[in-house]
Amino acid sequence: MPTQFEKFVPGEEMAKLKPTSPETKEPLELTKEQDEHFIGLLQKAKQVEKQGDLEQAIKLFQQYKEEYQALREEKKAKDFEKEGLEALPQKEIKEQYESQKEIFEKNGILEKLSSGEMGIKGIDDKEYAFPKIEEISKMMRENQEILKTKIEQGFTKLLIVPFGMKLDDLIERYKQVILKHHKAGKLLATKKDPSEKDDKLELDKKEPVYVSDEYKNADTKGKLVYYPKEFSKENHQGKTKEEILEKTKQGFNILLIEDLPSIPREGKGQEVGGRKQFETNKTPNEYLEALQTESIYQNEQGLTPEDQIAYAILHLEQTNHVIDDYYSGNGSVSYQLGAFFFASGYVPSAYWSRGLQWAALDRSNPGDRSDNDGARSAVRVSDFDI
């Protein structure tokens, strides 16, 4: 084989370039027609290469690899649905995916990119396309051993978060969604049980979302760090949004969460799959320590403000109900353990205030404790090590 051809073909693939049934680390059972098709591609590639048409030989070989890989992915998908994550079948994943994409599009969170795809522009001035369902399914297959356990523990809500966009812009979209629902008479209180009677909420239309001053430009000026190891100025070990985007090359968080618009009060949490749900009346420090040290919370992380807002928007659009309506007792204040205002030493928190008639994006001291206050956690579908 000419050396100029070899540089286009990895060494482990070179052995496959022969007129026999393709072999891989995960052999496929091919039909007679498929087997003949792949053998024919390889034979033709060798033939045109001998005739000096290197470009065509490479194209044929690439066709062989792509078609064979597509069959492998199809097999993985079937095995995944049959054996891997029975609690969250592909049909349900697809329905959740399509609903979230539609909601983000109609509320102006997604925009048309230069590629023609829908997505977001990150704070790093890069464009990030909304992830494809095939990409998400592949991530889940690759991490199915971890995800299977967490799904059995109740993490069945897919949450796609436009993490890379400017936090101020996401907050503005949240305000508009709340105003829209109030105008339509469909701004309803959090429910513990779907059978409960709907309870309409009043709204301060001039300020539908109260935002603590610390949030302003927090992600663009590095005032907010993500995924801290501890809530301290000197040793938080968190990363800025720009650092995370640079490392992951992904503008969207792909998560699984418990679909709990109301964080259970102390003594009210359920045990699901051997895991006790987070309850209120612990400090942010204690919740963070539990995520890091208790085996039942392994592979979980705290939510970021972006995760919290995305969940609030999606839940409101899908059900007409707000989350975290703590005055009613049907909700609780939510600490966002996945972020930290390190200069001031505060942890982001969020809730719905009936008295002030707004959603609040606030802050809490890491040592605060209240029977109204709790936390959510999430499981990353990819990039477990941020």
| Predicted pLDDT of residue 68 | 83
> How distant, in Å, are the alpha carbons of 23, 81, 175 from that of 201?
62, 41, 15
Does residue 254 contact residue 359 with C-beta atoms inside 8 Å?
A: no
Residue 61, both tokens: 């070989």
Q: Which of 139, 299, 304 is nearest to 224 (CA)?
A: 304
Q: Which residue has the higher pLDDT, 239 or 85?
A: 239
Q: Which residues contact 49 (CB under 8 A, 6 or more apart)?
A: 1, 2, 5, 57
- Over residues 165-181, mean pLDDT: 98
Residue 118, both tokens: 């829908």
At position 43, the amino acid (one-letter code) is Q
Q: Which residues contact 197 (CB under 8 A, 6 or more apart)?
A: none
Which residue carries 């052999």 as its tokens? 27
Question: Can you give the pTM of this predicted structure?
Answer: 0.79
Query: To the nearest whole percent, how much of the chain has pLDDT over 90?
Result: 68
- 61-116 per-position pLDDT tens digit: 888 888 888 887 776 656 555 444 555 667 788 999 999 999 999 999 999 999 99
b/e per residue, 155-193, with b = 16+ CB within 10 A? bbbbbbbbbbbbbeebbebbeebbeebbeeebbbbbbee
Examine the pLDDT at 236 and tell me if it is beyond 80: yes
Examine the pLDDT at 18 and tell me if it is beyond 80: no
| 12: enclosing H helix or E strand | helix 11-14
- 320-375 per-position pLDDT tens digit: 999 999 987 789 999 999 999 999 999 999 999 999 999 999 999 999 999 999 99
| Predicted pLDDT of residue 231 | 98
| Predicted pLDDT of residue 369 | 96
**End-to-end Cα separation, the chain, in angstroms:** 43
- Over residues 133-140, mean pLDDT: 90
